[in-house]
Chain A
Amino acid sequence: MSLFGLFRRGSAPIARERLQILLSHERVACGRPDLLSILREEIIAVIGRHASFEPDKVQIKMERGKSVSTLAIELEIPNRDQVLGAVPPSVAARHELL
């Protein structure tokens, strides 16, 4: 569960996250990529230059608020791989310890 989930109760936040992830994939498959899937592809390309990871282990979520929206990127990088370069500070990558 993401950080956002901690502030909300019930199962609706899980439904919302699952749908966001699923639909960003399905929209690409149907030939109508949205902002989230374009960002996903480009972020994977950029980080992929500096670290190796499974593209499936990247989760990108967008939360739209009234005045600000947040983009959360969760990325699993296996420990055995060396991270070659610094990840841009705007990217909040979480290193999962395996």
Chain B
Amino acid sequence: MAQVLVVTSGKGGVGKTTSTAALGAALAHDGTKVVVIDFDVGLRNLDLVLGAERRVVFDLINVINGVAKLPQALIRDKRLESLYLLPASQTRDKEALTEDGVAKVIEELRTKFDWIICDSPAGIERGATLAMRYADAAIIVTNPEVSSVRDSDRIIGLLDSKTAKAERGERVDKHILITRYHSSRAARGEMLAIDDVLEILSTPLLGVIPESQEVLRASNVGSPVTLNNPQSAPARAYFDVARRLKGERVPMVVPSETKGIFNRLFSRNAA
């Protein structure tokens, strides 16, 4: 049974696209079929982070408009054969994104893939609301910083009211993914701690991605951090998240940059 995930945040620049690419690759690592969809019409970037920017021929809008069939627009990753990208249009107006069109594309993808990951644009406009519209579960990417937490709270409100599931009286499973986390700064009280963020947002934790230069290094070369340096701290954190998404119970730790040493934060498991 296919799972539709939305990676969302409200605020820009917190790591939605990075997380979509890293999780897509981590989930597809064992041959699970994964498609990542870029919903940022006019400002696409998932293609660039995945290193597929020169292979885009057709996009999501072309499929919705009937210009191309879905298989023509899907780009298979060169490193992982079960990972696919459905890019956003760089030129079209985001008004071309229609609710019925998105519904049809998601329905068709559900028959072909195990995981459908929708990379939401920032904001709460059409692209963002359509990215979350048909989601079964949501990953709310949050930086331990006031404006990001506030925007996440707003997005949680939208997930509870504006999604197809919410309108049917069901619930979208919501999870917090904290990114750019500095354990030491949080310990010194200079940065909101994990528990602070979870308490304020009253939403369970899916994982914590430590701040790392590996993330920028991976995007520089167009490779998800989980493929570019699987042993790095952020990659190990993303692999843990992927295992939790697949239903495994993985202790909640923040991997540190020193290889093999884990900073045990708390023994609580992800909900």
**Which chain B residues lie closer than 8 Å to A32 at the CB level?**
157, 160-161
Q: Which residues of chain A from 26 to 61 have a CB within 8 Å of any chain B CB?
A: 26-27, 30, 32, 34
Query: Contact partner of B200 among A9, A10, A19, CB < 8 A?
Result: A19
**Which chain A residues lie closer than 8 Å to B149 at the CB level?**
19
A20 to B201, CA, bound (A): 9
Q: Which residues of chain B from 80 to 111 have a CB within 8 Å of any chain A CB?
A: none
| A16-B196, A26-B153 given; 12 more Cβ-contact pairs under 8 Å | A9-B189, A10-B189, A10-B190, A11-B190, A12-B186, A12-B189, A15-B145, A15-B196, A16-B192, A27-B153, A30-B157, A32-B161
**Which chain A residues lie closer than 8 Å to B161 at the CB level?**
32
Nearest-neighbour CB distance to chain B for A59, whole angstroms, equals 15
The interface bits of chain B over 147-167 (1 if a CB of A lies within 8 angstroms of the residue's CB, else 0) are: 001100110010011000000
Interface presence of B188 (CB below 8 A): yes
Nearest-neighbour CB distance to chain B for A91, whole angstroms, equals 22
A43 to B150, CA, bound (A): 25
A25 to B146, CA, bound (A): 15
Interface presence of B30 (CB below 8 A): no
Contact A13-B189, Cβ < 8 Å, known A19-B150, A30-B154: yes
Interface presence of B191 (CB below 8 A): yes
Nearest-neighbour CB distance to chain B for A84, whole angstroms, equals 36
Interface presence of A80 (CB below 8 A): no
| Contact yes or no, A18 B153, CB < 8 A | no
5 contacts between A and B (CB under 8 A): A19-B146, A26-B154, A30-B157, A32-B161, A64-B199
A85 to B89, CA, bound (A): 66
Most buried by B among A8, A19, A27: A19
Closest 7 CB pairs of A and B: A10-B189, A9-B189, A10-B190, A12-B189, A16-B196, A15-B146, A30-B157
Q: Which B residues fall within an 8 A CB radius of A?
A: 145-146, 149-150, 153-154, 157, 160-161, 186, 188-193, 196, 199-200, 202
Most buried by A among B153, B161, B189, B202: B189
| Contact yes or no, B196 A12, CB < 8 A | yes
| Contact yes or no, B157 A12, CB < 8 A | no
**Which chain B residues lie closer than 8 Å to A9 at the CB level?**
188-189
Interface presence of A22 (CB below 8 A): yes
A26 to B153, CA, bound (A): 9
| Contact yes or no, A12 B191, CB < 8 A | yes
Interface presence of A23 (CB below 8 A): yes
| Contact yes or no, B199 A12, CB < 8 A | no
**Which chain B residues lie closer than 8 Å to A15 at the CB level?**
145-146, 192, 196
The residue of chain A having its C-beta at the shortest distance from the C-beta of B189 within the complex is: A10
Nearest-neighbour CB distance to chain B for A67, whole angstroms, equals 14
The residue of chain B having its C-beta at the shortest distance from the C-beta of A16 within the complex is: B196
